[in-house]
Amino acid sequence: MQVGLFIPCYIDQCYPDVGLATVEILERFGCQCDYPTLQTCCGQPMANSGCTPQVKPLAEQLVRLFEKYDYVVAPSGSCVSMIRNHYAEYFAADDADFLKVKSSTYELCEFLTDVLGIRSIDGTFPHKVAFHSSCHGLRELRLGKCSELMSPQLDRIRDLLGGMKGIEFTTLQRADECCGFGGTFAVVEEGVSILMGKDRLDDFKNSGAKVVTATDVSCLMHLQGVSDRRKDGLKFMHVAEIFAGRQP
């Protein structure tokens, strides 16, 4: 199985170890990974800002680069959601290359569970962990269970992490509340974004968590920035880093 690795901009520039950890996990389970060096931003920041004409060439570039792979995997729910749920307006309805990329693009945890059939990951992580459900992964990809739903639902990330020895999940008062990042929202509504981040961090701290993890580094980046300024003492790790055996 050949996997095209799509690494979002902020991971490439600021958190490269998340990309390396993603490769380690995929290769552990038998995937052959390839990283197209001409890949660029998926266009989500421009789309969020209403700059639609600027998104189209980025979307076309991504499809050209990744249509040859069996699967496309990214350690980011928001970027995957952009491709799967918001790229259609930039392509013809019968564009075969786009339809192939759309149907074969997965967030990392989603790929591990839904394609590879993995239900837990061996390893040791003896820490109290708060899991932050990033909005795109939860609401658009349905990686976990939304708090308002009463029916049983697969919680992919918690199931995968739950197989690790020593890990202890904390109980949050608002399990699926937004962190306040929201891409360009954090720029145009800075004050509201920071207040939302502080509320989220208070919930983590009150739960007794020592480590905060999520599927999106963008959320973790925002939360860590606010936390560091408050000197909360919390550690922030992407789920791929935990899967790969990193420690805080």
Rounded-to-integer distance, Cα 108 and Cα 186, Å:
25
Q: Which pLDDT belongs to residue 54?
A: 93
Q: Which pLDDT belongs to residue 150?
A: 66
Those residues whose C-beta lies under 8 Å from the C-beta of residue 229, and which sit 6 or more positions away, are none
Q: Which pLDDT belongs to residue 151?
A: 64
Crossing angle between the packed helical segments 217-230 and 190-206, to the nearest 10 degrees = 80
Rounded-to-integer distance, Cα 178 and Cα 196, Å:
7
Q: Which pLDDT belongs to residue 212?
A: 97
Closest listed residue to residue 211, CA positions, set 177, 164, 169: 169
Backbone angles phi, psi at 174, to 5 degrees: -130, 85
Rounded-to-integer distance, Cα 190 and Cα 33, Å:
38
Torsion angle, CA of 113/117/123/125, rounded to 10 degrees?
A: 20
Closest listed residue to residue 202, CA positions, set 236, 176, 234, 225: 234
State the DSSP code for 107. E
Q: Which pLDDT belongs to residue 152?
A: 64
Contacts 24+ apart (CB under 8 A), 152-160: 154/113, 156/109, 156/110, 156/112, 156/113, 156/114, 157/109, 157/131, 157/215, 157/239, 158/131, 159/113, 159/119, 159/120, 160/109, 160/112, 160/113, 160/118, 160/119, 160/120, 160/121, 160/239, 160/243
Task: Show pLDDT as tens, one digit a residue, over the chain (248 residues).
Answer: 899 999 999 899 999 999 999 999 999 999 999 999 999 999 998 998 889 899 999 999 999 999 999 999 999 999 999 999 999 999 999 999 999 999 999 999 999 999 999 998 999 999 999 999 999 888 889 888 787 776 666 788 888 999 999 999 999 999 889 999 988 888 888 999 999 999 999 999 999 999 999 999 999 999 999 999 999 999 999 999 999 999 99
Rounded-to-integer distance, Cα 225 and Cα 208, Å:
20
> Tokens 């945890």 appear where?
109
166-to-1, 20, 105, 122, 161 alpha-carbon distances in Å: 32, 24, 32, 11, 10
